Amino acid sequence: MILLSVVIALVLNSVSAQSPLARTEIGQPKSLAADYLLPSNIKPSLYEVELEPNFDAATFNGSIRITVSVVATTNAIVLHTYQLTVETASISLLDVNGAVVNSIAGTSFSNDDRQFYTISFEEVLVEGNVYTLIIDSFSGILNSQNDGFYLARYTDEEGNTRKLATTQFEATSARRAFPCFDERKLFDTIFVTENWPPHNSKPLVPGEPFPASMNQH
Ligand SMILES: *[C@@H]1O[C@H](CO)[C@@H](O)[C@H](O)[C@H]1NC(C)=O
């Protein structure tokens, strides 16, 4: 049996003034660019992600906690997912004291190339408040397209082909590994802490693979 889990904490830069045309850099027609941006009413500050690959099935599952602050009162959190199955019943929202607050009214996926996943709440999230959004169960495909969280193969010293799960989060690929606010301006600085001692934490350069800790049994 192969067990592998990766615990990643991503500390994101505070977001400075947002350019409504930020996406034009990567080739969106200007007139469409604004529609492709997530609503700016929620700002993530910390991601804690656990991913567990199943090499035989070429799938993975995971859980995530995202610390968010509310920039403008809203009754929904919109983030990105791509080819992920999210268990709606596993979603919860905690306040700063860790108490469960607010009920999920529903979720929806945009079903277009914006890849927006919307979580609607029974009550509003109030401007200025900080919450932890927990998505305790989601799953995806450990793809072989070198994108997101993917399956790679390599040959070891004895000439055996071994499987490896690794990541590629350039541009819009992180949403393929876990639900996130996957816009380049939000991923300016990412620190990987994993489940390693703090001195092993290091900044991750966007586009470079995570130095994932892996234990194969
Ligand atoms: C993946 O799913 C298994 C089986 O349901 C569960 O025991 C495990 O905790 C999950 N892993 C993560 C990282 O969520």
Domain boundaries, the chain: 6-204
- Tell me how far the alpha carbon of residue 119 lies from the centroid of ligand 1, in angstroms: 22
Could you identify the atom of ligand 1 that is nearest to the CA of residue 63?
Answer: 14
Q: Is the pLDDT of residue 112 over 80?
A: yes
Pocket test for ligand 1, best of 8, 49, 61, 91 (most atoms within 8 A of CB): 61
Q: Which CATH architecture has domain 6-204?
A: Sandwich (2.60)
Question: Which pTM does this prediction carry?
Answer: 0.73
Report the distance separating Cα 114 and Cα 156, nearest Å: 40
Report the distance separating Cα 29 and Cα 167, nearest Å: 28
Report the distance separating Cα 119 and Cα 88, nearest Å: 9
- Tell me how far the alpha carbon of residue 18 lies from the centroid of ligand 1, in angstroms: 37
Report the distance separating Cα 182 and Cα 40, nearest Å: 12
Q: Is the distance from the beta carbon of residue 52 to the nearest atom of ligand 1 less than 6 Å?
A: yes
Of residues 24 and 101, more confidently modeled: 101
How distant is the alpha carbon of residue 203 from its chain centre? Answer: 17
Report the distance separating Cα 12 and Cα 79, nearest Å: 15
Of residues 143 and 217, more confidently modeled: 143
- Tell me how far the alpha carbon of residue 10 lies from the centroid of ligand 1, in angstroms: 21
- Tell me how far the alpha carbon of residue 89 lies from the centroid of ligand 1, in angstroms: 15
Give tens-digit pLDDT for 125-182. Answer: 999 999 999 999 999 988 777 777 777 777 778 888 777 777 667 667 788 888 999 8
Report the distance separating Cα 211 and Cα 85, nearest Å: 25
**Which residue, among 173, 171, 147, 180, has the nearest Cα to 49 in the 3D structure?**
180
Quick one: DSSP state of residue 185?
G
Q: Is the distance from the beta carbon of residue 5 to the nearest atom of ligand 1 less than 6 Å?
A: yes
How distant is the alpha carbon of residue 105 from its chain centre? Answer: 22
